[in-house]
């Protein structure tokens, strides 16, 4: 599963009608294949997880 963030409003036909509309800023998880498709369509971007490093903890 990959986290994606909506950058352009669209209707996600893989979801039930109540959750179908996706708005800019929304973040959710999809399969890797679906993420590649949505990125190619230009409606989402893949979100990278922010991790805390040991150096950041020392400061």
Q: Is pLDDT of 42 > 70? A: yes
Phi, psi of 38 (to 5 degrees): -65, -35
Average of per-residue pLDDT across 15-21: 86
Q: What is the pLDDT of residue 10?
A: 92
Which CATH number does the domain housing residue 48 bear? 3.40.5
**Domain count of the chain?**
1
Find the domain containing 50 and state its range.
2-58
Higher pLDDT, 59 or 26: 26
∠ at Cα 17 (34, 25), nearest 5°? 55
């Amino acid at each position: 599963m990959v986290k994606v963030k909506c950058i352009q409003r669209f209707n996600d036909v893989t979801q039930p009608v109540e959750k179908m509309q996706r708005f800019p800023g929304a973040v959710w998880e999809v399969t890797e294949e679906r993420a590649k498709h949505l990125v190619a369509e230009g409606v989402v971007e893949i979100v990278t997880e922010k991790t805390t490093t040991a150096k950041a903890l020392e400061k």
